[in-house]
Amino acid sequence: MNTTNQELSAWVTDVARLTQPEQIVWCDGSQAEYDRLVAQMLETGDLLELNQQTHPGCYLHRSDPQDVARVEHLTFICTSEQDDAGPNNNWMAPSEAHSKMDKLFDGCMRGRTMYVVPYCMGPIDSPLSRCGVEITDSPYVVVNMRMMTRMGSAALQRIERDRVFVKGLHSTGELDPERRFIMHFPEELQIQSYGSGYGGNALLGKKCHALRIASYQARQEGWLAEHMLIVGIENPQGEKTYIAAAFPSACGKTNLAMLIPPASYPGWKVWTVGDDICWLHPGDDGRLWAINPEAGFFGVAPGTGASTNPNALAMLNKDAIFTNVAVTADNQPWWEGKSDERPVKDWQGRDYDPANGPAAHPNSRFTVSIKNCPSYSPESEAATGVPISAIVFGGRRESLVPLVFEAFDWQHGVLVGASMASETTAAATGATGVVRRDPMAMKPFCGYNFAEYWQHWLSFADKLDRLPRIFHVNWFRKDEQGRFMWPGFGENMRVLEWIINRCSGQTDASQTAIGYVPESNALNLSELDIEPALLQRLLEIDQQNWAVELDHIREHLERFGARLPATLIEQQDNIAGKLS
Ligand code: OXD
Ligand code: MN
């Protein structure tokens, strides 16, 4: 065996006995190994070469058309007690889940190669990082894991040193939606995923480990694993303020993480630390410190264009893997919102015909190393992480929710996060455009009962001397004609500036029933075509409709029953009282 870690070698032997692969390959994470796997997948058709003149090192993967998104209804948290998983999760008893999965995995790798993929979530030498090993029969997963995590020999050495690691077992199986499950065993630090090759179901370091299992571990160990981007905002004086922000899937986290300030912000710069996941730890100095456990982006392609996210477009010109995008006549990757060119093949490889729907799948993706990004922050490698001054929650809401407001204090901020809601998108299977509660953007990702998760969030008031301020934003308000009222994208810098000015005590705010909003002249609107009346509408609080929203929030909280922290009900009562 290729490791001195007994537990790992015994597990690999057991899995091989069960799945019966033709051969076992231990992955070292080297360039040579990556090149070998790419060559092999070009041969089998798992990868297709894109135009190597315009996009050197870029490839296209077309997934099974039935396997294009996370499958929340097939994702389970398997704790001994059902209440530990909570109403927010599908639950299955561990023994039942194991026997179901053992049957599916039985002999499933016959004729296939089993890859053993050691990985580290977070900088390899950071005490805040955690390791895992994914066993998979998908070479597509291996090459993606190499971009998304610190994968290979260095991670294995760390596992041999630390001895603790998460065990993830994955097989694409027959890609049969009827034989597909994503199981999590937080008490055993195990993940088992069968029947899907799609990112969030198959790249086990990401949602399965870094959110579901990590959130469970974080509660036990006194930290937080969150569905948040991390950015550093540098002002013309060279001072950097770090913000962590949670938005549901496909609500623009990647765009915000790579924002380019508008021309009216000379000397300002936004640095990207992460676009999806954030691990937050209380530091010795009483502040909250963040690392991005990932090393790459698995971003949504549609909508990524020169006006929405020029940094992302720039980073996708080389060494990227595209999944389910369309291609142009000269074999460049294409998706809706990228350019005016016309695609010739759609995401399924058919001749493009608008009658078949969008050319790129709405949840088509790119995988690329974070180091490709022009706004990449070298602080992403800092073993200590970066200090967080503000936490921002947000959702996609056509009406009611103002452009920005600030919570009164930490406890109120936890209520704001717990009551987040958003219209659904294509990142998960199911209907899109339906408003659903998505607390802290963690609805599909929290590995335990939300009631206890909120209690854990509340406990940080005692763990930190300098609590981050908490904000809520909504870029997605629409007018009566259905047009967006706020320009969004780079212009969101104006809201971020107000947020960091609040953190440094440089600006006052108006108090409303639901929180603080900017005073009418406090948002910098220079060179922006926004009428004062429109801004007023974007910031106004409609007391009557907010009272109804607070009733909905109350119902939502009460679903969590006896374990719900009383503080959240007190907070809800307090706001509801101000609105009546
Ligand atoms: C993602 C998601 O892939 O949230 O990041 O769905
Ligand atoms: Mn995400």
Tell me which of 207, 247, 438 to substitute to probe ligand 1's pocket, judged by most ligand atoms within 8 Å of the beta carbon. 207
In the chain, what percentage of residues exceed pLDDT 70? 99
Tell me which of 255, 298, 368 to substitute to probe ligand 1's pocket, judged by most ligand atoms within 8 Å of the beta carbon. 298
186 CA distance to ligand 1 middle (Å): 20
Question: Which pLDDT band holds residue 424 (cuts at 50, 70, 90)?
Answer: confident
β-partners of residue 166 are 132
148 CA distance to ligand 2 middle (Å): 13
Rounded to whole angstroms, the Cα distance separating 169 from 147 reads: 19
Q: What is the pTM of this model?
A: 0.97
Helix count and strand count (H, E) for the chain: 17, 30
Q: Give the number of the atom of ligand 1 that is nearest the alpha carbon of residue 248.
A: 4
Q: Give the number of the atom of ligand 1 that is nearest the alpha carbon of residue 199.
A: 3
Q: Among candidates 438, 435, 448, 428, which has minimal Cα distance to 72?
A: 428
140-144 mean pLDDT: 98
In this model, does residue 1 exceed pLDDT 70? Answer: no
Question: Among all ligands shown, which has an atom nearest to the Cα of 70?
Answer: 1
pLDDT digits (tens, 9 = 90+) for 495-514: 999 999 999 999 989 999 99
75 CA distance to ligand 1 middle (Å): 14
The token pair that represents 330 in the structure block: 């000269």
Tell me which of 276, 366, 420 to substitute to probe ligand 1's pocket, judged by most ligand atoms within 8 Å of the beta carbon. 276
The token pair that represents 101 in the structure block: 């999965």
132 membership: H or E segment, kind and range:
strand 130-136
In this model, does residue 199 exceed pLDDT 60? Answer: yes
Protein residue with least CA distance to atom 1, ligand 1: 249
134 CA distance to ligand 1 middle (Å): 19
In the chain, what percentage of residues exceed pLDDT 90? 94
Annotation marks residue 78 as catalytic: no
In this model, does residue 430 exceed pLDDT 80? Answer: no
297 CA distance to ligand 2 middle (Å): 10
Instruction: Note the pLDDT of residue 401.
Output: 96
Distances (CA, A) of 165 to 157, 160, 186, 191, 392: 12, 9, 12, 11, 31
pLDDT digits (tens, 9 = 90+) for 364-419: 999 999 999 999 999 999 999 999 999 999 999 999 999 999 999 999 999 999 99
Rounded to whole angstroms, the Cα distance separating 144 from 37 reads: 11
Q: Give the number of the atom of ligand 1 that is nearest the alpha carbon of residue 276.
A: 5
Structural domains present in the chain = 6-47+71-222 (3.40.449.10), 226-295+379-579 (3.90.228.20), 296-372 (2.170.8.10)
Tell me which of 63, 70, 182, 365 to substitute to probe ligand 1's pocket, judged by most ligand atoms within 8 Å of the beta carbon. 70
Where are any strands of DSSP class E within 275-398?
278-282, 288-291, 296-300, 321-323, 326-328, 333-334, 343-345, 365-369, 386-394
Q: Give the number of the atom of ligand 1 that is nearest the alpha carbon of residue 300.
A: 3
Protein residue with least CA distance to atom 4, ligand 1: 249
Rounded to whole angstroms, the Cα distance separating 508 from 496 reads: 15
Instruction: Note the pLDDT of residue 311.
Output: 97
2 CA distance to ligand 2 middle (Å): 34
Residues around ion ligand 2, judged by CB within 5 A, are: 249, 276
156-174 mean pLDDT: 97
HEC per residue, 415-444: HHHHCCEEECCCCECCCCCCEEECHHHCCC
Ligand 1 pocket at CB < 6 A? 70, 200, 249, 276, 298, 427
408 CA distance to ligand 2 middle (Å): 27
552-565 mean pLDDT: 96
Question: Among all ligands shown, which has an atom nearest to the Cα of 367?
Answer: 1
252 CA distance to ligand 2 middle (Å): 10
Q: Give the number of the atom of ligand 1 that is nearest the alpha carbon of residue 441.
A: 4
Let me know if 388 is exposed, middle or buried by CB neighbors in 10 A (0-12, 13-18, 19+). buried
Question: Among all ligands shown, which has an atom nearest to the Cα of 298?
Answer: 1
Q: Among candidates 464, 453, 447, which has minimal Cα distance to 420?
A: 453
Instruction: Note the pLDDT of residue 249.
Output: 84
Instruction: Note the pLDDT of residue 201.
Output: 94
Q: Per the residue annotation, which of 251, 278, 446, 503 is the catalytic one?
A: 251
Rounded to whole angstroms, the Cα distance separating 552 from 544 reads: 13
Rounded to whole angstroms, the Cα distance separating 337 from 331 reads: 17
pLDDT digits (tens, 9 = 90+) for 49-100: 999 999 999 999 999 999 998 899 999 999 999 999 999 999 999 999 999 9
Q: Give the number of the atom of ligand 1 that is nearest the alpha carbon of residue 69.
A: 6
Distances (CA, A) of 137 to 183, 199, 277: 17, 14, 26
Question: Among all ligands shown, which has an atom nearest to the Cα of 278?
Answer: 2
Instruction: Note the pLDDT of residue 434.
Output: 77
Instruction: Note the pLDDT of residue 250.
Output: 77
pLDDT digits (tens, 9 = 90+) for 277-293: 999 999 999 999 999 99
Protein residue with least CA distance to atom 3, ligand 1: 200
β-partners of residue 422 are 436
Question: Among all ligands shown, which has an atom nearest to the Cα of 296?
Answer: 1
